[in-house]
Chains A and B, each alone.
Chain A
């Protein structure tokens, strides 16, 4: 028993050249959680819970705080990332299979994000743009970033924080706010509000990235407060976005909108630029690229650890897989299906699998102590 424990008790962090300071976890998690799915975020919950949708945002935010806490309990106790924890808990084969599921999840997520971005560009900027051409350009960019290593990915996350300037343009919509849209408060039943909360898990997803980069944090235990802070900031941002949607549109209007967040850009007028939607749509790249980079980094790293190959040889293969998949996804309905799939998977991962892991961990601890 003892030797096995030692064999698994590997170094909890990577060499310090590759690690990031704990505060950068804030940047990383913020970027990963705040993916491009925010542009369609407020529609469905508002159809469900109407003016009470903002309560759902807060509820979902609180539930994610709990999940983050649970995640840190698991990680801190084992001192390594989920890839190793899987093998430690379930053995080489079952653990490997679980890792494979996560590889598939990350790759699908990357495909989804990229296809979503290309779709936005095709609808808002260039209807005649070839999917494969943009996918190729973006994947080359992703390759260049991921080949630079984890620190470069976090650097891109940091740069992408510039995108919050685009959110400030929400101020331009203030002229058209109707505050009566927020009342009466609690006009919907608790059931409806919780159902709307469930819709919010997809935009909130992204904290799970922590499970895979835990060893790349310099002092991982200190990073917990930064992850919580990121979740708080995300909640505030989402609250802002949902409230603006409520104040600006009637729910009946929203139901016809595809990407209500991009429609809000239509209200922005600068003396020089009359149409902000071009910039708004193109700037979605700042939301998309960091997430794709991380997904490919995490999946290629998992492949590397499982099959002991070089990450640089795995990466092009995975990129080609993503490229092929992106070219094959056509049309809105297919995208919707993938989104539902991802959000279902995410929902069960966050509220089912992570608590399950925690229980397994506690049971293992108890068992060891009794021995």
Chain B
């Protein structure tokens, strides 16, 4: 009797205790998805599903699936009607947003992946200049998987390049946090090639305007301490100088005057001269080169800050910096003051080394 009970319990356990399996090769693990605007408040979702070839781990092709609907999860479900292996969105590591959709706000799409227990918080996001679907359709990655290609593109450029990149977590951080606004890299398709063409600035979760490549470089320097990237300047005598950044430091200082807070940004950049076109001994003219770079950086930087203030956006997070130095900081009050905020930018460029030549 006792044994029978245990046996019955065991059978019952095995029959109902099982959970839904997701055997790796029986599911489609999409790595990139693209959101676009569609009429009637709908969205168009495109995913690139990787197709693996048996025995050949090197070559992976992509197949695109695209569908219009109201909620992205429902779209994925109806995509399964066309697939031999159901889609699992958990591995999506890059999300692309069409410019038009971004202008209407990306918070809803972002919320989906923040809610999903299986999605990564390190997912990269980017705005596409044009339609995101068209970008995915292009053959930009030779025989690499498209999602991996885009992920590596954004990842390497963020880590060792010129691009300030925000992943899902950081985007959410600046979107939800007070006194700052998010930004994303802007992707562009040029001759079947993907290119990071600049920065897309957001006000709350809505795309406002973009920055070009030069502004992007300066913005990266203002945002974080960097050890990568080159800068270029044209001297008055016509020679072009390229400098590699071997370590830059940015420091925000909050002060106070009668009108309210003021911010002083000081940027110190240690560079190494890489290339000097039309100049034989750049080390003798360090002074001029230094001045040139400093004025250039100050000009672009101040221009950027003016732009931010004009648009009423705060991608540098100045509000948050002021908050951390002020007691009883108030967001509403700050927003009014922001447009007339006194921001000073000081740049100091040093050239400790000039390569292995003088």
B-binding residues in A (CB < 8 A): 123-124, 126-130, 133-134, 136-137, 176, 178, 180-184, 187, 249-250, 252-253, 256, 263, 266-267, 269, 274-275, 277
Contacts and interface: CB of A to CB of B under 8 A. Distances in A.
Contacts of B170: 176
Contacts of B172: 253
Interface string B233-267: 00000000000000000000000000000000000
Contacts of A128: 19-20
A129 B13 CA distance: 11
A250 B173 contact: yes
A253 B17 contact: no
A140 to B, nearest CB: 10
Interface in B169-186: 169-170, 172-173, 176-178
A184 B325 contact: yes
A133 B176 contact: no
B328 interface: yes
Contact of A133 (B16, B323, B327): B16
Given A126-B20, A184-B327, A263 B177 contact: no
Contacts of B13: 133, 136-137
Most buried by A among B114, B169, B170, B321: B169
Given A183-B325, A249-B173, A250-B176, A130 B16 contact: yes
B78 interface: no
Contact of B177 (A123, A176, A250, A269): A250
Contacts of B212: none
Contacts of A124: 117
Interface stretch (B59-67, B118-126, B279-287): B118-126
A319 to B, nearest CB: 14
Interface of B: 9, 13, 16-17, 19-20, 90-91, 114, 117-118, 120-122, 169-170, 172-173, 176-178, 320-321, 323-328
A275 B120 contact: yes
Contacts of B325: 183-184
28 contacts: A123-B117, A127-B20, A128-B20, A133-B17, A136-B9, A136-B13, A137-B17, A178-B320, A180-B320, A180-B323, A180-B324, A181-B324, A182-B324, A183-B324, A183-B325, A184-B325, A187-B328, A250-B173, A250-B177, A253-B172, A253-B176, A266-B120, A266-B122, A266-B169, A269-B122, A274-B91, A274-B120, A275-B118
Nearest to A133: B17
A252 B121 contact: no
B121 A266 contact: yes
A232 to B, nearest CB: 30
Contacts, number: 68
Contacts of B327: 184, 187
B321 A180 contact: yes
B167 to A, nearest CB: 9
A275 B13 CA distance: 29
A184 B120 CA distance: 32
Contacts of B178: 250, 252
Contacts of A181: 324
A228 B169 CA distance: 38
Contacts of B323: 180
A252 to B, nearest CB: 4
A133 to B, nearest CB: 4
Contacts of B320: 178, 180
A16 B14 CA distance: 42
A113 B103 CA distance: 45
Nearest to B169: A176
Contacts of B177: 250, 252-253
A172 to B, nearest CB: 10
A137 B10 CA distance: 11
Contacts of A256: 114, 176
A136 B9 CA distance: 10
B327 to A, nearest CB: 6
Contacts of B122: 266-267, 269
Closest 10 CB pairs of A and B: A133-B17, A250-B177, A180-B324, A126-B19, A266-B121, A252-B176, A183-B324, A124-B117, A253-B176, A129-B19
B121 A263 contact: yes
Of A128, A253, A269, most buried by chain B (CB within 10 Å of CB) is: A253
A140 B19 CA distance: 19
B176 A267 contact: no
Nearest to B170: A176
B227 to A, nearest CB: 15
A181 B19 CA distance: 41
A137 B19 CA distance: 14
Given A128-B19, A130-B17, A183-B324, 18 more contacts: A126-B20, A130-B16, A133-B16, A136-B13, A137-B17, A184-B326, A187-B327, A250-B178, A252-B177, A253-B172, A256-B176, A263-B121, A266-B122, A267-B122, A274-B91, A274-B120, A275-B118, A277-B117
Interface centre among A134, A184, A274 (most CB of B within 10 A): A184
Contacts of A133: 13, 16-17
A184 B320 CA distance: 11
Among B17, B91, B321, B328: residue with most chain A CB under 10 A: B17
Contacts of B328: 187
Contacts of B326: 184
Contacts of B324: 180-184
A133 B13 CA distance: 6
Contacts of B91: 274
A274 B118 CA distance: 11
B155 to A, nearest CB: 11
Contacts of B9: 136
Nearest to B117: A124
B326 to A, nearest CB: 7
A85 B57 CA distance: 69
A170 B17 CA distance: 33
Nearest to B172: A253
B123 to A, nearest CB: 10
A187 B169 CA distance: 26
A267 B168 CA distance: 11
